[in-house]
Amino acid sequence: MSHSTNGSREVPLRPGSSPVNPFRHRSYTIPWMGSRLLTVLVLAACATGTPRAQAPAATITIDLSAADLGGAPLTTLRAEDLALRIDNRPHPIDTLRFVPFERVEALLKAPYGTNQIAHGRTIVLAVDATRLQTSQMTSVKEGIHALLPALGARDRLGLLALASDGSAVDFTTRHDLVVAASAALKSGAPAISAGAEAEEAAALAAIVLLDRLCASIGTEPGPKTVVFMAPPFATSTDVRRALLALAETTGRHRVQLFIIDPVGTAANLGATAAGPAGGLAAMAALTGGLVVPSAIAALATTRYELQFTPTTDQRNNKPHRVMVVSQRQDARIAAPSSVFIGDDLASSEPMPSLTHMLRESRGYRDLPLRLVAYPVLDDDRTRPQLLILAESENPSRSLAWAEFALISPSGTIVAQWKAEGADAATRPMRTRALAPAGPYRLRMAASELSGRRGAVDYEFDAGFTPAGTFELGPLMFGGMNAADSAQFVPVLQPAANATAIMAYTEIYGALASADTLGVRFEMAHSLEGEPIASVAGSVRTSGDPTRRAALGTLDLSALPVGDHLVRAIITLNGAEVGRVTRTLRKVGG
Determine the pLDDT at residue 355: 93
Q: What does pTM read for this prediction?
A: 0.83
Stretch 376-394: mean pLDDT: 87
Q: Say if residue 157's pLDDT is above 50.
A: yes
d(CA 278, CA 281): 5
- At 29, the pLDDT band (50, 70, 90 cuts) reads very low
Which backbone phi and psi does 358 adopt, to 5 degrees? -65, -35
Among 328, 240, 225, residue whose Cα is nearest residue 281: 240
Q: Which of 553, 560, 512 is CA-nearest to residue 534? A: 553
Alpha-carbon distance of 160 to 10, in angstroms, equals 45
Query: What is the average per-residue pLDDT within 512-525?
Result: 95
Average pLDDT (567-578) is 97
CB atoms within 10 A of CB 56: 17
d(CA 409, CA 413): 10
Confidence of residue 57 (pLDDT cuts 50, 70, 90): low
Q: Percent of the chain beyond pLDDT 90?
A: 62
**Rounded CA separation 538/515 (Å):** 15
How much is the pLDDT for 6? 41
Going from the N-terminus, what domains does the chain have, and what CATH number goes with each? 28-37+359-463 (2.60.40.1220), 120-303 (3.40.50.410), 465-589 (2.60.40.10)
Identify the band that residue 10 occupies on the pLDDT scale cut at 50, 70 and 90.
very low
Residue 201 in this model has a pLDDT that exceeds 90: yes
Asked whether residue 563 carries a pLDDT value surpassing 70, the answer given is: yes
Instruction: Report pLDDT for 20.
Output: 32
User: Is 421 a residue whose pLDDT tops 80?
Assistant: yes
Write the DSSP string, 357-398.
HHT--S-B-SS-EEEEEEEEE-TTSSSEEEEEEEEESSTT--
Structure confidence by residue, pLDDT tens digits, 386-401: 999 999 999 888 899 9
Instruction: Go through 169-180 and write b for each residue having 16 or more CB atoms within 10 A of its CB, e for each that does not.
Output: bbbbbbbebbbe
Contact between residue 542 and residue 17 where contact means Cβ atoms under 8 Å apart: yes
Q: In which band, very low, low, confident or very high, does the pLDDT at 197 lie, cut at 50, 70 and 90?
A: confident
Residue 118 predicted with pLDDT over 50: yes
Amino acid 42: pLDDT: 36
Report which residue type is found at 287: T
- β-bridge partners, 65: 334
Q: Are 554 and 582 in contact (CB under 8 A)?
A: no
Angle of helix 237-252 relative to helix 278-287, nearest 10 degrees, comes to 30
- 294-349 pLDDT per residue, tens: 888 888 889 999 999 999 999 998 999 999 999 999 888 899 999 999 886 554 55
Alpha-carbon distance of 204 to 244, in angstroms, equals 12
Structure confidence at residue 473 (pLDDT)? 96
At residue 517, the pLDDT reads 96
Q: What is the pLDDT of residue 144?
A: 94
Q: What are 41-52's pLDDT values in tens digits?
A: 333 333 333 344
The SS3 call for residue 279 is: helix
pLDDT at 92: 96
Q: CA of 280: how far to CAs of 249, 270, 392, 421, 569, in Å?
A: 17, 11, 48, 55, 55
Higher pLDDT, 183 or 12: 183
Strand order from edge to edge, sheet including 517-524:
533-536, 517-524, 562-572, 575-586
